[in-house]
Structure 1
Amino acid sequence: MVKKQDKSLIGMAGAYYVAAELCKRGFIALLTSRNTRGADIICSKMDTGKTAFIQVKTVYGSKPRWPFNKKVEEGISENLFYVLVKLNEGIGHPDFHIVPSKILAKKIREEHRRWLEENPSHKDNPMRTFSDENNEFKDKWDLIIDFLNS
């Protein structure tokens, strides 16, 4: 399996896993070039003509905490979804957490505010993290499917 420090390969693996899952569910999933801003995958359904933009974030390890930049709090669109992938150290299938951009922005903002408040020595900075510790969004493919079918 991919070495932990090879982040570009880890990111590519996550994007391909997500594209495969979307195709398996009957959608067209096209990977964008690696430097495309805002979307790693463009996903559509031919008969509805709807399109979803998918941003993929992949981590490799046992404790899933996905890093983000402050800009994620502003990039909100009804057709933008984040699929957060945990590769589980190459053992078994990856875990997928599907979060609409509006919900992710809100949760990241709240989590960052809590982090600042819990310790006065914490300084505000543009880095953010997200963790789905309660698996609220685990395997929530229906969020994308329902959007594309509407």
Structure 2
Amino acid sequence: MEEKNLQVTSNVGLYYVCYKLSLQGWNAMPTARNAKGVDIIAYNSDCSKMISIQVKTLSKRNAVPLGRDLGKVMGNYWIIVNEIDKEPKTFVLIPEEVKKLAEKREKEGQVSYWLQVKSYSNEEYFEKWDRIGEI
């Protein structure tokens, strides 16, 4: 598949997650793009439970950039989608897990946080869609 720009890659992952949530009976809706906050709001069939999700999409199996501050790690769930151009693989985490696993880097006085592949790419999180709604 030809290389896509980051916005298109992000959109593919966003709608893939909405598709997967819909298969589980959630009504999933993307939020306004490029707005600060969560990427998806979803509610169950009887509207008794609502959840918010941040989605990080990568075309390859790479580390996830988390930004300069872990305060932007929010929502009820974090779903990492990688290898979106091939056979997507998903990892379902909660924000507390993302924060705990984050690695801090400093370069030329600038701080950034990253979620390394070895931290999120394991059986505990791999395709664990059944975690959605439990927490």
2:128 is the alignment partner of 1:140: yes
Unaligned runs of 5+ in 1: 117-121
CA drift at 1:35 = 2.0
Aligned to 2:80: 84
CA drift at 1:69 = 1.0
8 Å contact from structure 2 (residues 51, 76) kept in 1 = yes
Looking at secondary structure, tell me which structure has more helix per residue.
Answer: 1
Structure 1 residues 46 and 36: alpha-carbon distance in aligned structure 2, compared to 1, 3 A threshold: farther
SS at match of 2:125: coil
Looking at secondary structure, tell me which structure has more strand per residue.
Answer: 2
TM-score between both structures, scaled by the size of structure 1: 0.76
TM-score between both structures, scaled by the size of structure 2: 0.83
4+ residue stretches of structure 1 with deviation over 4 A?
none
Distance in 1 between the 2:46 and 2:30 partners?
Answer: 20
CA drift at 1:37 = 1.7
CA drift at 1:105 = 1.0
CA drift at 1:95 = 0.5
CA drift at 1:70 = 3.1
What are the residue-to-residue correspondences of 1:21-40 with 2, within 5 Å? 21-40=20-39
Unaligned runs of 5+ in 2: none
2:116 is the alignment partner of 1:128: no
Aligned to 1:107: 101
Aligned to 1:41: 40
SS at match of 1:146: coil
Distance in 1 between the 2:67 and 2:76 partners?
Answer: 16
8 Å contact from structure 2 (residues 66, 73) kept in 1 = no
Structure 1 residues 132 and 142: alpha-carbon distance in aligned structure 2, compared to 1, 3 A threshold: farther
**Cα root mean square deviation, aligned:** 2.2
Deviation per residue, 1:37-82 (Å, 9 max, x gap): 2111101113252111111111112x321111133x23466x5211
Q: If you compute each CA radius of gyration, which structure gives the higher value, 1 or 2? A: 1
